[in-house]
Amino acid sequence: MTFDMQRKMYPVVMLSPFFLLVAVFYLVPTILTVLMSFTDMGYGMKWHFIGMRNFSAFMNFPFIGTIIRNTFVYVVFTLICNVGIGFCIALLTVFFMDENIHSRIIRTIWMLPRITPSIVLVIMWAWFFSSTDYGFLNKVTNFIGLEQIRWLSDHAMLAVITANTFIGISFAMLIFTSAMQSLPNDIFLAAEVDGSKKTTIIFSILLPAIKWPVMFVTIVQTLALMTSYETTLLLTNGGPVMDTTVWSLYAYKKAFNYSEFGHGAALSLVLVSVSFTLTLLLLRFFDFDEMMKNTRL
């Protein structure tokens, strides 16, 4: 083998373990999931191809409209809260506070939900929204003389969005903080010398300067929310009735609660297709092609 051939083969040999892991743990399961979606695989693990029957079956499900609406409300409002509050915390600690122990403490506090086990968080939120006299919110309402509220019954989606918001804020906060700290301070000082107001600096200078991070956080958080169900499963189990059942949780229950693996795979495939479409739309919304041209220049 010549030296040039050895040099060309070297990257392939070094990366082959990585390619093997990707094939075994990502590519093969993806192919199997696609094939499974066209079968009626159940508890017996037998493959019987039934064509598009799984895809037509869930469209006839009586609560499919409720599930689609729940998914839309959950993703949109949680995304707005995650990105918006994360941006505000980053803005507060970078531009309105000096880089000191206080700003670091604030960021650390908002990181706690991310590093806390899900079951611990859910127990905390279950106590916070408890409908009994021992629930935190009901203690507050009792203290000010208001009637108790059945939060997890009458406002279950609000509880789910609130819990997931506090978990997702830290990701946006870290990305935005890093992006803001990387910007040269001179452009903001020049704007202040010219008499620009804080709001003008934020919306006309800062936001356009961190458009890439905003796009990245929005897309990643959207995809994460489309497939997340853990907190919802533990907090409300999709109830009451199906008021907090989102698409990913419905797919999980079909596959693992009712052993309808083919049906669950079909639901997952539809979710992937919708997520891919949303990604393309968000790239178009942020004018990704124009951003790439400006980057090359």
Q: Which of 239, 210, 228, 243 is nearest to 275 (CA)?
A: 228
Confidence at 176, pLDDT banded by 50, 70, 90: very high
Average pLDDT over residues 252-272: 92
- Other C-beta atoms within 10 Å of 24: how many? 10
pLDDT tens digits, one per residue of 112-122: 888 888 889 99
Kindly report, residue by residue over 43-82, the tens digit of the pLDDT.
Answer: 888 888 998 998 888 888 888 999 999 999 999 999 999 9
d(CA 176, CA 225): 19
Cα–Cα distance, 253 to 249 (Å, whole number): 6
pLDDT band, very low/low/confident/very high, at 193 (cuts 50, 70, 90): confident
28 compared with 6, residue with greater pLDDT:
28
Cα–Cα distance for residue pair 206/291, rounded to 1 Å: 16
Q: Calculate what percentage of the chain has a pLDDT beyond 90.
A: 44
Residue 290 has pLDDT above 90, yes or no: no
pLDDT of residue 115: 84
Whole-number pLDDT of residue 79: 96
Query: What predicted TM-score, i.e. pTM, was given to this entire model?
Result: 0.89
Q: Of 87, 97, 74, 246, nearest to 161 (Cα)? A: 74
Domains of the chain: which residue ranges?
A: 93-297
Neighbours of 129 (CB within 10 A): 25
CATH superfamily of 93-297: MetI-like (1.10.3720.10)
Of 165, 278, 291, nearest to 219 by C-alpha is 278
pLDDT the model gives residue 113: 84
Q: Is the dihedral of CA 193, 194, 195, 200 positive or negative?
A: negative
Contact at 8 Å (CB) between 215 and 175? no
Residue 1 is predicted with a pLDDT of: 55
pLDDT above 90 (res 11): no
pLDDT digits (tens, 9 = 90+) for 156-171: 999 999 999 988 899 9
% the chain with pLDDT above 70: 96
d(CA 253, CA 4): 54
